[in-house]
Structure 1
Amino acid sequence: MTTSTTSRGTYAKTAERRREILDAAFEVFSTSGYTNGSLRDVADRVGITQAGILFHFKSKTELLAAVLEKRDQRSREYFATVTEPGLEQLRAFVEVVRRNCEEPGMIELYTILTAEATVEGHPAHEFFRGRYDWIRSEAQQSFITMREEGTLRAGVEPAHAARSMLAIVDGMQLQWLYDRSGMDLVADVRAHLQSLITVPL
């Protein structure tokens, strides 16, 4: 009984320490980017040594992947609740944008890293490539479904609409980071999507 209780306590402490490291790494990477943000910076925020970081994460690359995957998992889980492509999935996308606005630091992190990770060999390169492919594919299928239903505006091509949606969101997020009080990111994203369809979003 004592061994079991001790094991559970050790596991809980380890899980809590990992969460603390992920939170600290998020702050460091969102402020400094992946290249300039160091394990020492992360360790200092948590109050442990770099060796302590590497006990939980084998490398800086693995730590970055964990930070990105932890945040992205929530969006994927939310999208999974919307099983059918089409209008509801576009509404879900707008809702994800709204939720992201509640965590501006994450938008900062993604904005920094999406630019930084365009270089082949960057540890987040494949993550962002896969993320863009996934979102673009989901959006394109929704636009195809709406075309079949007759709710996509005439002349709108689904693949182009999906790419433009991503481009608009990325560009608007960057502008929003400069002017958060003077810009309604969610309303602007919704207005763009509304311009592509014939039913209320």
Structure 2
Amino acid sequence: MADGAAGPAPGPAPGPAPRRRRTAPDGAKGRARRRDVIAAATELYGEVGYRSASLREVAARAGLSHPGLLHHFGTKEALLLAVLEQRDEDDTVAFVEGRRGVAALAGMVDIVERNTHRPAIVELFCVLSAEATAPDHPAHDWFRRRYETVLAFAADAYRAAAEDGHLRAGVEPEDAARRLVALMDGLQVQFLYDRAGTDMVARLRDELRAELTVPLP
């Protein structure tokens, strides 16, 4: 049986239900352990892909036993979602939280700039987003919701830019948002094939320069 996979559901037993395993230990030590596990998983997924990585390998990299890892993340799927959520949370707080209009669009470019220095994260995202197109993939719903959220954020940013008089005539916010997100994803794939020859930031700035009436911050 694969690491973290659930076995057949047991039948009802007499007496009180067993206590559930605590998946998020309290305290600073527990939070630090979770961060270590997420960092180890992020690194391993970037190297071998989610499906090929085992919880035992992640545990070894994080300096934990297999049961110790399961104390923090009860299943492989739970760990995957934690990795994805941590990546987006870090980027949101650092670059786009509280921004609007042109500043929000510039924040999206800043995220891409950050990604040029962490190719393992770019590879992880590209591999998982492709794998997760399968409806039975554990991250399928997460990626679907993420794309909805990112597209909505970008469209709101373009609409705010238009309200501020910073969007060129004829640029439709929803269409521009889809182009921008598609460009970001496509450039990431090209970057993985040719890091030296693919300037993701410059290409995004060129796209936004053609749509905006003011320079990016």
Identify whether the pair has TM-score above 0.5, normalized to the shorter chain.
Answer: yes
Q: Call closer, same or farther: CA 1:158–1:45 in 2, change over 3 Å.
A: same
Equivalent pairs counted in the alignment come to: 190
TM-score by length of structure 1 reads: 0.86
The answer for the alignment partner of 1:57 in structure 2 is: 73
Q: For 1:1-201, list aligned pairs within 5 A.
A: 11-78=27-94, 79-82=96-99, 85-201=100-216
Cα distance in structure 2, aligned partners of 1:142 and 1:81: 11
Residue 12 (structure 1) shift: 4.1
SS in 2 for 1:34: coil
Q: Higher mean Cα deviation, 181-190 or 38-47?
A: 38-47
Cα distance in structure 2, aligned partners of 1:169 and 1:160: 14
Residue 167 (structure 1) shift: 0.3
Q: Call closer, same or farther: CA 1:139–1:12 in 2, change over 3 Å.
A: closer
Q: Call closer, same or farther: CA 1:63–1:198 in 2, change over 3 Å.
A: same
Gaps of 5+ in 2: 1-25
Cα distance in structure 2, aligned partners of 1:106 and 1:188: 20
Residue 31 (structure 1) shift: 1.6
Gaps of 5+ in 1: 1-9
SS in 2 for 1:195: helix
Q: Call closer, same or farther: CA 1:149–1:81 in 2, change over 3 Å.
A: closer
Higher percent of residues as helix: 1
Aligned residue type for 1:53: L
Check conservation: 2:187, 2:198, Cα contact below 8 A: no
Q: CA RMSD in A?
A: 1.8
TM-score by length of structure 2 reads: 0.80
Aligned residues with identical type, % of pairs: 44
Aligned residue type for 2:109: V
